[in-house]
Chain A
Amino acid sequence: DVKVTQSSRYLVKRTGEKVFLECVQDMDHENMFWYRQDPGLGLRLIYFSYDVKMKEKGDIPEGYSVSREKKERFSLILESASTNQTSMYLCASSTNNRAEAFFGQGTRLTVV
């Protein structure tokens, strides 16, 4: 079974802090994604990566950056957390051969 693991289930951070969300997948998938999910807005793509050190902006990249130094790990960075970044963050991975994405358990981030 594909396993996508996010480092934290719940996080509470203060406004202005630098926040790191980590995601690891164990199936050698080429593609990794970060989404955020908010009520009424569905899942929105923040960034994705199709290879080590490669990244592409999604629909809402402002205020975020990402890092992929190893194939299995994809990090989302909030450079200076703000209250409007309070959300559920979901990491996912997929292969190039099969398009379906497999999700981690999610990180519920609260910025106070």
Chain B
Amino acid sequence: QKEVEQNSGPLSVPEGAIASLNCTYSDRGSQSFFWYRQYSGKSPELIMFIYSNGDKEDGRFTAQLNKASQYVSLLIRDSQPSDSATYLCAVRGGSARQLTFGSGTQLTVLP
């Protein structure tokens, strides 16, 4: 069983809609959770991080964390074609220095 699981997609949403990206993780001791965006041919860039249960909002992005369910999600409101990318979920375990990544969800926002 992979430690960090994401639906690979592809996920398609129309412009202006809400895109919902989901991630589950297996290590109950995980402390830190991250969402990266990766455009084709480019390296991942950090867009959100969350450490505590609940919601964290930053502009059009909302990260949601539920440690009891071992679930983290990313909502993108008012999706734009420029949001089309692969979104990577990453988790850091309790005492680890490194991040473990999911395999990513490919999002396409249709004009």
**Contact indicator A43/B98 (Cβ below 8 Å):** no
**Contact indicator B34/A48 (Cβ below 8 Å):** no
The reply on B103 being an interface residue by CB < 8 A is yes
> Which residue of A is nearest B86, CB measured?
A42
Q: From residue 67 to 111 of chain B, which have CB atoms closer than 8 A to chain A?
A: 88, 90, 92, 97-104
- Interface size class of chain A, counting residues whose CB lies under 8 Å from the partner chain: 20 to 34
Q: Known interface pairs A33-B98, A90-B44, A94-B97. Does A42 touch B92 (Cβ–Cβ under 8 Å)?
A: no
The count of chain B contact residues (Cβ–Cβ below 8 Å) is 21
CB-CB under 8 A from A31, the residues of chain B are 97-98
**Contact indicator B92/A99 (Cβ below 8 Å):** yes
CB-CB under 8 A from B100, the residues of chain A are 45
Q: How far is the CA of A48 from the CA of B80 in the complex (A)?
A: 36
Q: From residue 35 to 68 of chain B, which have CB atoms closer than 8 A to chain A?
A: 42-46, 49
Q: Known interface pairs A103-B43, A103-B45. Does A43 touch B92 (Cβ–Cβ under 8 Å)?
A: no
